[in-house]
C-alpha cells in the first residue's frame, strides 16, 4: 500500500524506522529485530540507506522482506548526493523489481572525507532532484525529510522552509521530521509550514533517549535543542543505563501523547533496532493508537 493512501485512511499514522546491520554482520540479525516489531503492528517500517557503505544494498532486501514476509508495509530510504544518474536509475529499477511502493527521498549528508569523489557531473545536489526523478517514474509514494529546528547546513529556518516548499512541490506526498525533544519547536514549525502553504501530512520523528553521550552528539550534529527538562534527566540518570532507559521511554511517551493531542498526523519512532524499547513505548499508547485509527 502506498503511504499517501495510509494517510487518507488514518487519523494518525504510527511508523517505525530500522537500520540495516553493518555489512560484516549477517543480514539475518535484523530479523530478530523485525520479529520483535511485528507484534506491534506499526503502520509501516522504514529502512535507512547508508549512502557510501557496503550495507546500502541491504535496504532494498530488508524492505522487501518486511513487506512480503512480515506483512507490514515498508518504505526504503534512498540518498542521492553520492550517486550518478545511472546509479539512481538502477536503484529505482531495483526498488520496483522488489515491489517496494514507498521511498523516502533524501540528499544524504555531505561526506566528511575531503578525498571523497563526487560524481561528475553532480546530478543530485539536493533531494528535490531525486524527488523529480522518482515522480517521473510514477511508481512510488514519495516521502521526504524536514527539520523543525532548521537543517544544519541552512542559514535560517525561513530559507530552509522555502527550500522545503520547492521540494514538496516537486512531488512529495508526506514528510518525516528530524528528531526533536521540545514539542513547542515542532508545533511552531507546523504553523510556519501552514503559512508557507505546505499542507501535506508531517510525521514527527521521535527518538527515545537511551544513552547520554549518543544523544548529546546527535543533538550537536543535527542542531536539535536540549530542553532543560531533558538536560536534568541526562544529568540525573546519564550514568545509570537502566534508569536512563526508563526515563527516556517515559519522555518519548509524553512527547507522543502531547503531539497526538495537538493534532499531529503521524509519529515516526526511531526504533534504533531495539524492539523491547519500542514495545514499551507502543504499549504506553495502546488506547491512543486505537482511538486515532
Helix (H/G/I), strand (E/B), else coil: 104: strand
CB 240 within 8 A of CB 251: no
**Is residue 169 close enough to count as binding ligand FAD by CB under 6 A?**
no
Give the position of cell 516489531.
37
By CB under 6 A, which span of 100-108, 188-196, 225-233, 247-255 interacts with ligand FAD? 100-108
φ, ψ of residue 2 in degrees (nearest 5): -80, 140
**Is residue 3 close enough to count as binding ligand FAD by CB under 6 A?**
no
- The count of other CB atoms within 10 Å of the CB of residue 225 is 15
**Is residue 14 close enough to count as binding ligand FAD by CB under 6 A?**
no
Contacts of ligand FAD in 73-92 (CB under 6 A):
77, 79
Contacts of ligand FAD in 180-239 (CB under 6 A):
205
**CA 57 – CA 70 distance, rounded (Å):** 19
Nearer to ligand FAD, 156 or 287 (CB): 156
CB 105 within 8 A of CB 130: yes
Give the position of cell 512527547.
255
CB 77 within 8 A of CB 106: yes
Among 67, 107, 245, 289, binds ligand FAD (CB under 6 A): 107
3-state helix, strand, coil in the chain (%, to 5): 50, 15, 35
**Is residue 49 close enough to count as binding ligand FAD by CB under 6 A?**
yes
Q: What is the largest CA-CA distance in the chain?
A: 52
Out of 11, 17, 61, 188, the active site residue is: 17
**Is residue 108 close enough to count as binding ligand FAD by CB under 6 A?**
yes
Residue 254 annotated as catalytic: no
Contacts of ligand FAD in 126-155 (CB under 6 A):
126-128, 145, 151, 153-154
Which residues belong to the active site? Answer: 17
The footprint of ligand FAD (CB under 6 A) covers 48-49, 51, 77, 79, 104, 106-109, 126-128, 145, 151, 153-154, 160, 163, 166-167, 176, 178, 205
Amino acid at each position: 500500500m502506498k503511504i499517501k493512501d495510509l494517510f487518507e485512511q488514518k487519523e494518525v499514522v504510527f511508523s517505525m524506522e530500522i537500520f540495516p546491520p553493518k555489512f560484516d554482520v549477517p543480514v539475518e540479525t535484523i530479523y530478530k529485530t523485525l520479529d520483535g516489531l511485528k507484534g506491534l503492528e506499526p503502520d509501516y517500517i522504514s529502512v535507512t540507506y547508508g549512502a557510501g557503505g557496503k550495507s546500502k544494498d541491504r535496504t532494498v532486501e530488508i524492505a522487501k522482506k518486511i513487506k512480503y514476509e512480515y506483512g507490514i508495509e515498508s518504505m526504503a530510504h534512498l540518498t542521492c548526493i553520492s550517486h550518478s544518474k545511472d546509479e539512481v536509475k538502477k536503484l529505482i529499477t531495483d526498488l520496483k523489481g522488489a515491489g517496494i511502493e514507498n521511498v523516502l527521498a533524501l540528499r544524504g549528508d555531505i561526506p566528511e572525507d575531503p578525498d571523497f569523489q563526487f560524481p561528475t557531473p553532480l546530478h543530485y545536489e539536493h533531494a528535490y532532484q531525486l524527488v523529480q526523478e522518482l515522480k517521473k517514474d510514477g511508481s512510488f509514494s514519495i516521502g521526504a525529510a524536514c527539520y523543525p529546528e532548521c537543517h544544519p547546513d541552512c542559514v535560517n529556518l525561513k530559507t530552509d522552509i522555502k527550500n522545503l516548499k520547492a521540494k514538496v512541490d516537486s512531488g512529495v506526498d508526506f514528510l518525516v521530521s528530524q528528531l526533536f525533544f521540545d514539542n513547542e519547536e515542532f508545533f511552531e514549525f507546523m504553523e510556519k509550514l501552514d503559512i508557507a502553504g505546505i499542507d501535506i501530512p508531517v510525521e514527527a520523528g521521535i527518538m527515545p533517549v537511551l544513552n547520554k553521550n549518543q544523544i548529546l552528539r546527535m543533538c550537536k550534529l543535527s542542531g536539535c535543542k536540549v530542553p532543560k527538562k531533558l538536560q536534568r534527566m541526562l544529568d540525573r540518570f546519564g550514568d545509570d543505563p537502566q534508569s536512563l532507559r526508563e526515563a527516556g521511554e517515559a519522555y518519548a511517551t509524553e512527547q507522543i501523547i502531547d503531539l497526538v493531542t495537538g493534532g499531529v498526523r503521524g509519529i515516526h519512532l526511531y526504533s534504533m533496532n531495539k524492539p523491547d524499547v519500542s514495545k514499551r513505548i507502543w504499549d504506553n499508547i495502546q488506547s491512543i493508537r486505537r482511538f486515532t485509527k
